[in-house]
Homo-oligomer: A and B are copies of this chain.
Amino acid sequence: MAGNSIGQIFRVTTFGESHGTALGGVVDGVPAGLEITEADLQVDLDRRKPGQSRYTTQRREGDEIKILSGVFEGRTTGTSIGLLIENTDQRSKDYSKIMDVFRPGHGDYTYWHKYGHRDYRGGGRSSARETAIRVAAGGIAKKYLKQVHDIEIHACLSQLGPIKAESFDWSEVENNAFFFPDTSKLEALDEYMRDLKKQGDSVGAKVKVVAKNVPVGLGEPVFDRLDAELAHSLMSINAVKGVEIGDGFDVVEQKGSEHRDELTPEGFASNHAGGVLAGISTGQDIIASIALKPTSSITVPGQSINTSNEPVEMVTKGRHDPCVGIRAIPIAEAMMAITLMDHLLRQRGQNPHVDVPHGPIPGQAK
């Protein structure tokens, strides 16, 4: 229970279901004095928003973020920030047929058993719609990290089904609907997705997320290591089935003489470690990858059961993403940002707050 919070000093708590009134959350622990507007947060929400390209779900949500507290005269006050997004395009009748049926690969079965009943409207709390608030909260963290520490976080799609990025040009990532760094593959991706749509099927993806300019020293051994907490926050994203730091599973076949990052007076000679040694940031780029499963909301018929334990044939209509990895780009960035911000504040405390000009300090107490 009480699983809707993440972070210790910088803490994000969220609520909301896919077809409820609204999504929202509380962002606690933001130092005072940070300039922030709703428009700052809207940028990433728009990158995540459904209906942005023909490769994502056609559900249309304004996803308009409102800041309800914690910001006064354009700056954070140091108190908790309330966030709200009202749901507008719910169409919950789409879901009425499936209220007694467990969709394979979804949380229907587990929610029903855990809670004794379920919100069958589009997955309720288990829907990826919940991640909108993560993106908004991550936007606050990204702003702080950039402004105060010059830390930048970017993610891209590094693989979609069988199609891998073979070159990495970060400057291209925001220029295509796939957030793909290898433009030579864009045509293949488009073709693949068209085929997939015809088949009524979906496919998995791999997302890479990188943070630059992270100072050395973040991460608390031994259980709250930076990599362990990144694994937690990234694995908490819907559909994620694997997390890698640095070379990840490639290390299984590496030798020690190959893997270790040698040191020179000018710095590290390589970054197999992905910027984390013994759970603490090295000052190099933090590099992580995640594997996202193919969504189970597909029109290819499948076997399932209903709540009376009778067999049913299952076809998920509704409006769904054929590859949830695409919209996961800003979500992965947000979760990385939230975890880094939490670790920065554990290390540095909330003082000095972001500089706010003020007059002379009044009479210090005796």
The stretch of A145-153, A169-177, A180-188, A238-246 in contact with B is A238-246
The stretch of A5-13, A39-47, A49-57 in contact with B is A5-13
| A126 touches which of B115, B221, B363 (Cβ 8 Å) | B221
Contact indicator per residue, chain A 80-109, by CB within 8 Å of chain B (1) or not (0): 111010000000000000000010111101
For the complex, is A191 an interface residue (Cβ under 8 Å from B)? Answer: no
Judging by beta carbons under 8 Å apart, are A242 and B241 in contact? no
Judging by beta carbons under 8 Å apart, are B69 and A277 in contact? no
Given known A13-B28, A227-B235, A302-B262, contact A274–B75 (CB-CB < 8 A): no
Number of copies: 4
Given known A117-B33, A268-B365, A295-B256, contact A307–B358 (CB-CB < 8 A): yes
Contacts of A258 in B (CB 8 A): 294
Judging by beta carbons under 8 Å apart, are A277 and B109 in contact? yes
For the complex, is A20 an interface residue (Cβ under 8 Å from B)? Answer: yes
Judging by beta carbons under 8 Å apart, are B203 and A255 in contact? yes
Residue of B nearest to A312 (CB): B263
Contacts of A167 in B (CB 8 A): none
Contact indicator per residue, chain A 245-277, by CB within 8 Å of chain B (1) or not (0): 111111111111111111111111100011101
| A3 touches which of B15, B75, B224 (Cβ 8 Å) | B224
> Interface residues of A toward B: which range?
35 or more
Alpha-carbon distance A172/B260, docked complex (angstroms) = 33
Alpha-carbon distance A70/B212, docked complex (angstroms) = 32
Contact indicator per residue, chain A 178-209, by CB within 8 Å of chain B (1) or not (0): 00000000000000000010010111111000
Residue of B nearest to A229 (CB): B232
Residue of B nearest to A307 (CB): B359
Judging by beta carbons under 8 Å apart, are B201 and A255 in contact? yes
7 A-B pairs with least C-beta separation: A107-B278, A3-B220, A349-B349, A3-B224, A105-B260, A283-B365, A202-B256
Given known A79-B124, A249-B206, contact A311–B265 (CB-CB < 8 A): yes
Alpha-carbon distance A232/B219, docked complex (angstroms) = 13
Judging by beta carbons under 8 Å apart, are A228 and B217 in contact? no
Q: Which residues from 295 to 309 on chain A have a C-beta closer than 8 Å to any C-beta of chain B?
A: 295-298, 300, 302-309
Judging by beta carbons under 8 Å apart, are A26 and B13 in contact? yes
Alpha-carbon distance A360/B298, docked complex (angstroms) = 27
A63 CB to closest chain B CB (Å) equals 16
